[in-house]
Amino acid sequence: MSVRIQAWGIIAGVLADTDPSGAAVRQRLSTSLDENPGVPERALLEYLLETRRSDANTAETLESARQMRLTPAIPPKVAEQIDAIRSMSRISALLQSNMLMTAFQPIYGLEDKSVLGVEALSRFVSDDGAAAELWFAEAAAVGLGANLEFSALGSAAAAAKALPGNMFVSLNISPDSCLDPRLPELFEHIELPIDRVVLELTDTVKDEEYPQFISAINPLRDKGLRIAVDDTHSGAGALSRMVHLRPDFLKLGRNVIGDVDKDGIQRALAACLVDFAEQIGTTLVAEGIETVGELQVLTELGISAGQGYLLGRPSVRPKDWASWNTRLDVDGLKRQLVGREQSGGPSGTNEQH
């Protein structure tokens, strides 16, 4: 849905409100529309700016009204709509200015300690330093989630040109965006070959959308696209769907691999998942590896691949990406960790986005 269509929808909602306390608000919006014929989004922005100035001038009065349990000047419905247009303007500005970068984090093959691929992680150039998940959540709340996702996918595909050509690129995407007709079109316009792309699902496929999801994604998989899911989507229903989906990669988080070198139950669970993955033909990727002990046990159990701060942090620097073509020095990691412990430095935690 375009920003203009959404702007008209919000305008209609504000003007249709019959609450007498919102009459002044509706009049301001009507005036803004008259001054900006045919450009509803500009009218909304000017109305919003005027509302913000008015809010600043009456902040003390509104606070007193709240304390006295009086109704504020702006009705709750209108306040929600104002918040929505603020989010729409923020996300639209982000998309238009392309304030979006891509960081890559290496994914190592645990047997030969060489990089198999990378996971693309969005980084936003914003004044408030909002984390990536907050940007995507805000965009989804105002109907621009898919727009932001496809912008991130395009940015990651463009950045991937600087990666060694033997590496796959894992791109995060929601199941809803997999149903978007822009997905197959994306692969017609990017230079990244589809057989180097792994789509990593950021959420569970809804039961009612599962057949539609399979129908949409299978033609792309026939062309070489691969799929990754993670173990957070647990439960018998999720496991059953996983068998039918046959993802190319199953990612195991800290809830499975954390302290696997010290906890017998964790080790047994990881071993069971190795057997399960072999049965359905899926490659296991351990996420969030933090210690050499975890790395060694996961390798012994037969986990195929891993990523985490121990192996390599996300980076936006092509110089770092080029260095990932060398084999991982496990002995060197041990020496670094010993030095870190002796100096009292932090070992670091793993990012989620």
Burial (CB < 10 A; 0-12, 13-18, 19+), residue 350, is middle
Between 41-50, 62-71, 272-281, the lowest mean confidence (pLDDT) is in 62-71
Pairing relation of β-strands 226-230 and 197-201?
A: parallel
Confidence at residue 70, expressed as pLDDT on a 0 to 100 scale: 44
* Between 197 and 69, residue with greater pLDDT: 197
**Could you tell me the pTM of the whole model?**
0.73
Q: What would the pLDDT profile of 131-155 be if each residue is shown by its tens digit? A: 888 888 888 888 889 999 999 999 9
**Proportion of the chain above pLDDT 70, given as a percent:** 71
- For the segment 309-328, the average pLDDT, to the nearest whole number, is 87
**Proportion of the chain above pLDDT 90, given as a percent:** 44
Tell me the residue type at 217.
I
Residue 245 has pLDDT above 50, yes or no: yes
CATH class of 100-343: alpha beta
Confidence at residue 37, expressed as pLDDT on a 0 to 100 scale: 72
Between 159-173, 193-207, 321-335, the lowest mean confidence (pLDDT) is in 321-335
* Between 106 and 8, residue with greater pLDDT: 106
Confidence at residue 141, expressed as pLDDT on a 0 to 100 scale: 86
Confidence at residue 308, expressed as pLDDT on a 0 to 100 scale: 94
At residue 222 the predicted structure's pLDDT band, cuts being 50, 70 and 90, is very high
Confidence at residue 205, expressed as pLDDT on a 0 to 100 scale: 85
Confidence at residue 338, expressed as pLDDT on a 0 to 100 scale: 56
At residue 60 the predicted structure's pLDDT band, cuts being 50, 70 and 90, is low
Residue 259 has pLDDT above 80, yes or no: yes
Residue 347 has pLDDT above 50, yes or no: no
At residue 348 the predicted structure's pLDDT band, cuts being 50, 70 and 90, is very low
Per the document, the length of the chain is 353
CATH 3.20.20.450 residue ranges for the chain:
100-343
Confidence at residue 27, expressed as pLDDT on a 0 to 100 scale: 79
Q: What would the pLDDT profile of 71-123 be if each residue is shown by its tens digit? A: 445 566 666 776 777 777 778 877 777 778 899 999 999 998 899 999 999 98
* Between 107 and 55, residue with greater pLDDT: 107
At residue 128 the predicted structure's pLDDT band, cuts being 50, 70 and 90, is low
Residue 63 has pLDDT above 60, yes or no: no
The CA-CA-CA angle for residues 308, 177, 14, to 5°, reads 115
* Between 65 and 333, residue with greater pLDDT: 333
